[in-house]
Amino acid sequence: MTMTEGSVDPTREQFNAFKALPRDTPIHMLNLIRLKPLADYSEDHPKHGKGMTGLDAYRAYGAETAEIFSRLGARQVWAGQPESVVTGPADEQWDLAFIAEYPNAGAFLAMVTDPQYRDIVKHRTAAVADSRLIRLAPISPENGFGE
């Protein structure tokens, strides 16, 4: 997969499948992010041509969405810096990995449809070359790994 073929936003089918799942239970969202070397803002954006890196733009996205995220009762519960693919395609290298917790799927939907968020998400679009966003149902493992 080349940089231009990356997944940045969900397809209509993926978003519809997300919306069809229960909306009243807590969810975790696994985020795997590969950043662009240079942020790619549209020509009409004030940050266009300013030489920002993908990491700079993603940090702006995080800082500017923090208030919305918090207001909806969401929080980051885990973050790590990927170092090496041990199992899986060697070309799936990630720059950032984190898990965000939302009190319910409705809170996530409220965030992504918030007019202020929709303006701020331009930072994410400029920053991200490829990503994976995977909805998880939180579980408490008993013994060992998994359930």
Give per-residue pLDDT as tens, 11-47: 999 999 999 999 999 999 999 999 999 999 999 999 9
- For residue 144, being part of any structural domain is answered with no
Q: Find the domain containing 111 and state its range.
A: 26-85+93-136
What's the CATH code of the domain at 126? Answer: 3.30.70.100
Has residue 145 been placed in a domain?
A: no
55 within a domain of the structure (yes/no) = yes
Percentage of the chain with pLDDT > 90? 82
Q: What gap in Å lies between CA 37 and CA 56, rounded to an integer?
A: 10
Split into its structural domains, the chain has a count of 1
Residue 116 resides in a domain: yes
DSSP 26-53: -EEEEEEEEE-SB----TTSTTTTS--B
Cβ neighbour number for residue 115 with a 10 Å cutoff? 7
Tens of pLDDT, residue by residue over 40-82, are 999 999 999 999 999 999 999 999 999 999 999 999 999 999 9
Phi, psi of 29 (to 5 degrees): -120, 115
100 contact partners, CB below 8 Å, separation of at least 6: 28, 29, 31, 69, 74, 75, 76, 77
The reply to whether 20 falls in a domain is no
Nearest to 108 by CA among 13, 34, 4, 24: 24
Whether residue 115 is contained in a domain is answered as: yes
Residue 108 belongs to some domain of the structure: yes
- Are the C-beta atoms of residues 33 and 128 closer than 8 Å to each other? yes
Q: Is the pLDDT of residue 5 over 70?
A: no
